[in-house]
Amino acid sequence: MAMIVPEFWAEARISEQFGRDHISGRRSLTVRRFGWSNANLADAQAMADARVREAFDRILAGASLPKRDPRVPYDAEGLPIREQIVERDGDVVITRNSYGARCLNSPDVLFADVDFDEPVSAWNKYYFLSSLAAALIAGAMARHLGVFLLSWVFATGIAIALAQARGRARHRADGGAEGRARRRIDAFVGAHPDWHLRLYRTPNGFRLLAMHRVFDPNDPAVIGFFEAIGADAYYALLCRRQHCFRARVSPKPWRIGDRARSRTRAGVASNRPDSMPKAGVWPIAAERMPERERWVEDYERKSLGYASCRFVEALGSRDYVMAAQAVQRLHDDLCRSDSTLPLA
């Protein structure tokens, strides 16, 4: 199945009221569905109308279906990527995601980001038992329940701090998150010397770009690669569902000074601050477009002073295919990966 990033989107809605004795047992039902097309808006609306009618009839007949497509850009199974198309370059599509950053989408050139893991607390049952024992001793000496409780709180706080410190020390001892990530990558390259990987540094990890061949996102070799290097499981799932590989090629807005104007968008699963206008997920309502366009103009202006990743080195073989080289050049240009600009 080929990557699909439609140009046109529309949404249809059916809402009906029923009498008390309706066979479905419902008093009312409202269903919404999206439609899409690469040809025109009318075709997108026709698809939306057909999808909403089918879903409405099936729900009314007793099927357990959602009443609306999730308002998320690309992780809903069965829906193509729903983001604004910024530009096309051959079969590569540059889109703007829900928080405003541009993303490169390729059907067959393999990208993978590896985020650095955080230090893990060394907390275990022995810390718990030690804090409890200390509290019991203090309570027994004072013969007072309140002393026991206060001592337990105090001892637990100390135990947690010690566990966290031990976890950080263990984290540093084996080279830290960056060292562990790099060892996984080097181990993969050592076991697959025919692979040619370009390694980039991102604000919070590494990015890898495969140059020696193109891949189907559902290829077992891709799945094995993701697992070996510790790629994000959500990203790996996205690649399989959307039949593409993605790489963010412009900064995250909260890293370039937009935190002061940040707001939380209802319905978007993220705990990051975000200054994108409401309804950041495409398509945007017509009345919101002027606000969005002003925000994008300001965001793009601020983005000029930052890079999204920085090239580190080439690993493995030096074989490459022309398709991968073309995407690599586009990616590096958009990310400013050869610059010394700060990463964001």
Domain span including residue 33: 8-60
Residue 19: both structure tokens together = 């009498």
| pLDDT band for position 75 (cuts 50, 70, 90) | low
**Has residue 63 got a pLDDT over 80?**
yes
The proportion of the chain whose per-residue pLDDT surpasses 70, expressed as a percent, equals 81
* Assigned domain for 261 exists: yes
Residue 189: both structure tokens together = 């390259």
* Assigned domain for 162 exists: yes
Whether 208 and 331 share a structural domain: yes
Phi-psi region of 73 (alpha: psi -120 to 50; beta: other; left: phi over 0): alpha
The whole-angstrom separation of Cα 211 and Cα 13 is 45
Whether 237 and 325 share a structural domain: yes
**Has residue 125 got a pLDDT over 50?**
yes
Condensed to tens digits (0 to 9), the pLDDT of residues 167-221 reads 566 555 555 899 999 999 999 999 999 999 999 999 999 999 999 999 999 999 9
CB 36 within 8 A of CB 6: yes
**Nearest Cα to Cα of residue 197 among 183, 213, 181, 217:** 213
Place of tokens 């992780």: 75
What is the arrangement of strands in the sheet containing 310-316, beginning at the earlier edge strand? 111-115, 205-210, 196-202, 310-316
The whole-angstrom separation of Cα 309 and Cα 284 is 29
The pLDDT of residue 151: 75
**Has residue 272 got a pLDDT over 60?**
no
**Has residue 86 got a pLDDT over 80?**
yes
Condensed to tens digits (0 to 9), the pLDDT of residues 280-338 reads 678 888 899 999 999 999 999 999 999 999 999 999 999 999 999 999 999 999 999 99
CB 62 within 8 A of CB 37: no
The whole-angstrom separation of Cα 169 and Cα 133 is 26
Count up the domains in the chain and report the number: 3
Instruction: Among 52-56, 110-114, 165-169, 286-290, name the one with the lowest average pLDDT.
Output: 165-169
- Beta-sheet pairing, 102-106 with 111-115: unpaired
* Assigned domain for 343 exists: no
